[in-house]
Structure 1
């Protein structure tokens, strides 16, 4: 072949072919940079969602978890018109309204109103702040019930539901339980720190100024946190399709009902120590009022680690445990704590009561952190049946079951307390006025892990 022919052949080759190799190299490098950039942006948004969700635990749960501080203040500094005993329903009403409204709110913002999540959360923050501000001007007891027990609770639920939906969507099956656990740990930090804050404010300024300060705290923490939590793109895109509805296939699976019943039972007993631990410590173990109040803090502190720990157990890859195993570990351990520690406390046995408070607080507080594993299990069942599943809606229904448990336990505690011994002093806690409550707490706690018994045929595959 002559030189002219070689030159002719080279000139006949298209320019894009001659430059293909360097062009592909540059294209691959660009793709890698774009992938790194997308990954960095994804991680940044996940961190923002986690931080925002953690911050929101203060305005959402700070009052509801620590209403007992206000209740104690009202009992010794009564200045309102109406029955003083009525204030006792404010705390249970607040928790009940919040949890029972969550299934409806989760359904509302899961699909069609997904675009309005941030707006709804801001409206909820506004309602919460307005409610606490109005309650500071209360002159009759029913004013407190309406503003604190109902209006503020609805506002908090309106903040919690859309932001928690976004939290579950930004974290996948492999790390969702850990994310829930971290946020629940922050909830327990709030429950541990706020009693001291509220007590100092109440003693120094009274309940009216305290409520106005709390209004400012709620506004200052909720509004920035809400703006840190973006709605996941998948929900925004799905909300544009008017025909797409919430998939309810999981209602056909027994697994959903097994765990729902377990949550109702565990929650009905979980609220008992929170309500009566203070008075039990003061009346039975004869602790000072300060030491008795400290028990509530000791109850919440272990939950800071417990929620992250049980969330990790549900997601860990080194020693994978099934959802029935993790829930049973939390439920059975808290039941043993109630039966063997709380039930055997006697007059002056402060050490045993402290041990119960810490162990029950750890294992019982971590129970809700196991829901991430429960949702993962239901997702796998849906995948096996080639069914769609809305994890946000599912999480809302689990919270609704928790609300039913709280209300049921509160209603049951009154006749159980009356059924106990007339004496507050006995050799063991079982023989006191609180004996039936102790037994009720232990039994309902252990049945919170009955999913493992229902799943007994799969025991060889559980571990």
Structure 2
């Protein structure tokens, strides 16, 4: 109707030819300038989001991925009250709490609370810094568990969830995989570089001053990066409207539980070397602290490329592999490296430990990249049943399963280490106090690929 009125108005009062050309030219030029300006502004914000998300990997994962350095320091410089073996659960608890809280935080900040993402991330940064600061005044081992294992990890999860959601939304039309790849590479770079940084700080200043320095680093980097990441305009506009309900039909499918259980089992063993490898290298194989720290760096470096590699296998069009097959490759290969490389190390055998760090770090570190194939498989199942599926919520629940595995592995590690100190299981690494931990790591890695057995059973049943 408005268009008809506009046409009739122009018909009744036609402008002069010169005026019309001038008017159209003036109308077109601002339009092009506006489009260029909007495109430039959008690209600038996308770049800021990418840079901010990359910087945030430092305060989020710098401590969690390198807790083994603190674990080794606590073991050789114990000054607190309580059992020093309890410190073994801090690293796995830290990762577990972060992953367990992700399903809830992702659901919370997806739509309705999208406008509060930046505020939540700032609160998370404050909680993280206060936690590390309080941890520096610890006098009992449970103080470390509460501050480093629980409080700091909750703060990091509050930073991670809004930032990851915004990253996916700003790159929702193109280059999303590239953006995630850049951020994931930065995460593993942080895990590799912070190992020596924390080692130097601990040797020079002790754990109390080191934690205060780390709190300052986390505060400076997180606040800077958070202000670089605005919420996507579509989420801010839609937050005032009624949100769409999340479809939960996928919870009725056996496939989800197969892969969720596999993720729990795999991650329960994955956190063990991150926590104990540094201490094992120093105490059992009698390597220097520098060499032991190098192992943890070599453990994290392969993750820079392994996630991209297994993501490619999960989405390969030329030689398509099922999600069960790709997860089995990760699981069985990492299990073999635990059994035959870590388990067969002996005093002074640094070569085997280096090989174990790199192979286990590559195959086990790329396991979560197989979730892309899992999501694709569940999307296909939902399409066959004419059901809706929320892939974001599915990804959050798989992270939650990973968190359960981290926590359970950490809780199991303490009694396993005690059992190994009283019983001999043979020669090499198996005969040390870490023997049960090595066996547990290998077995849990194997069961991380049990989805392939379920797939074969299903195919045989159909045959």
Q: Same fold (TM over 0.5)?
A: yes
Question: What SS does the corresponding residue of 2:244 show, helix, strand or coil?
Answer: coil
Contact 1:124–1:155 at 8 Å: present in 2 too? yes
Q: CA deviation at 1:59?
A: 0.5
CA, structure 1 residues 324+178, in 2 after alignment: closer, same or farther (shift >3 Å)?
Answer: farther
Shift of 1:58: 0.8
Residue in 1 aligned with 2:406?
406
Contact preservation (8 Å) 1:185, 1:308? no
- Residue 133 of structure 1 aligns to a residue whose secondary structure is helix
Kept after mapping to 2: 8 A contact 1:264/1:402: yes
The separation in 2 between residues aligned to 1:122 and 1:75, in whole angstroms, is 34
Q: CA deviation at 1:313?
A: 3.8
**Which residues in structure 2 correspond to 1:359-398 (within 5 Å)?**
359-398=359-398
Q: Alpha-carbon deviations, 1:104-149, whole Å to 9, x = none?
A: 2222212321221111011111111122223233344443333222
Aligned-residue offset at 1:268: 1.0
- Does residue 147 of structure 2 align to residue 112 of structure 1? no
CA distance in 2, matches of 1:16, 1:121: 58
Paired with 1:231 and 1:248, the residues of 2 have a C-alpha distance of 26
Q: What secondary structure is seen at the aligned counterpart in 2 of 1:308?
A: helix
Q: Which residue of 2 aligns with 1:266?
A: 266
Q: Which residue of 2 aligns with 1:7?
A: none
Deviation at 1:265, TM superposition (A): 1.1
Give the direction of change, closer, same or farther, for the CA distance of 1:275–1:79 in structure 2 (3 Å limit). Answer: closer
Deviation at 1:222, TM superposition (A): 0.7
Q: Is the 8 A contact 2:327 2:370 kept in 1?
A: yes
Which range moved further: 23-32 or 184-193?
23-32
SS at match of 2:345: coil
- Between 1:449-458 and 1:338-347, the stretch displaced more is 449-458
How far apart are the structure 1 equivalents of 2:449 and 2:35?
Answer: 43
Conserved in 1, the CA contact under 8 Å of 2:247 and 2:389? yes
The residue aligned with 1:300 is 300
1:390–1:12 distance in 2 versus 1, CA, 3 Å: closer
Map 1:236-255 → 2, pairs under 5 A: 236-242=236-242, 244-255=244-255
Structure 1 residues 444 and 14: CA distance shift in structure 2, 3 A = same
Contact 1:181–1:312 (Cα < 8 Å) also in 2: no
1:324 aligns with 2:332: no
Distance 1:118 1:16, change over 3 A: farther
TM-superposed CA distance for 1:174, in Å, is 7.5
- 2:86 and 2:280 map into 1 onto residues whose CA distance is 21
2:202 and 2:223 map into 1 onto residues whose CA distance is: 25
Alignment partner of 1:227 is 2:227: yes
What is the number of equivalent residue pairs in this alignment?
Answer: 449
Q: CA deviation at 1:193?
A: 1.3
- Residue 202 of structure 2 is matched in structure 1 by 202
Bigger mean CA deviation after superposition, 296-305 or 180-189: 180-189
Q: State the alpha-carbon separation in 2 of the partners of residues 74 and 55 from structure 1.
A: 28
Q: Which residue of 2 aligns with 1:92?
A: 92
* Equivalence for 1:6: none
What is the CA–CA distance in structure 1 between the aligned matches of 2:281 and 2:331, rounded to whole Å? 23
Over 3 Å counting, the alpha-carbon distance change for 1:458 and 1:189 in structure 2 is farther
TM-score scaled by length of structure 2: 0.83
Question: Are 1:145 and 2:138 counterparts?
Answer: no
1:35-80 CA deviation, whole Å, 9 max, x = no partner? 7766655554443333222211110111222223233333444444
Residue 208 to residue 321, structure 1, CA distance change in 2 (3 Å): same
Deviations 1:290-324 (Å, cap 9, x if unpaired)? Answer: 32332112111211222233334445566555433
CA distance in structure 1 between the partners assigned to 2:402 and 2:258 by the alignment: 14
Question: How far apart in 1 are the matches of 2:154 and 2:95?
Answer: 10
Other-structure match for 2:3: none
Tell me, which stretches of 5 or more residues in structure 1 are unaligned?
A: 1-10
* Greater alpha carbon shift after TM alignment, 223-232 vs 29-38: 29-38
Structure 1 residue 402, shift from structure 2 partner = 0.7
Aligned match of 1:218: 218
| Range moving further from structure 2, 315-324 or 88-97 | 315-324
Further displaced range: 323-332 or 221-230:
323-332
| Pairing 1:348-367 to 2, within 5 Å after superposition | 348-367=348-367
Which has the larger displacement, 96-105 or 246-255? Answer: 246-255
The equivalent of 2:121 in structure 1 is: 121
User: 2:93·2:410 contact (CA, 8 Å) conserved in 1?
Assistant: no
Aligned to 1:8: none
Tell me which moved more, 56-65 or 84-93. 84-93
The question of 1:56 aligning with 2:60 is answered no
Deviation, 1:389, is 3.4
Equivalent-residue separation in structure 1 for 2:15 and 2:113 (angstroms): 52
Deviation at 1:190, TM superposition (A): 1.6
* 1:311 maps to 2:311: yes
Instruction: Give 1:406 deviation, angstroms.
Output: 0.9
Cα distance in 2 between the residues matched to 1:317 and 1:292: 41
Pairwise CA distance, 1:201: 1.6
Q: Is the 8 A contact 1:53 1:167 kept in 2?
A: yes
Deviation per residue, 1:161-210 (Å, 9 max, x gap): 12122223334498545543432322222221112111222222233322
The Cα shift of 1:368 comes to 1.6
d(CA) in 1 for partners of 2:23 and 2:151?
A: 63
Contact 2:67 2:275 in 1 (8 A): no
**Other structure's SS at 2:366 match:** helix
Q: 219-228 vs 69-78, which deviates more? A: 69-78
> How far has the Cα of 1:348 moved from its partner?
3.6
CA distance in 1, matches of 2:390, 2:169: 10
Aligned partners of 1:177 and 1:371 also within 8 Å:
no
Question: Residue 260 of structure 1: SS of its match in structure 2?
Answer: helix
- Residue aligning to 1:437: 437
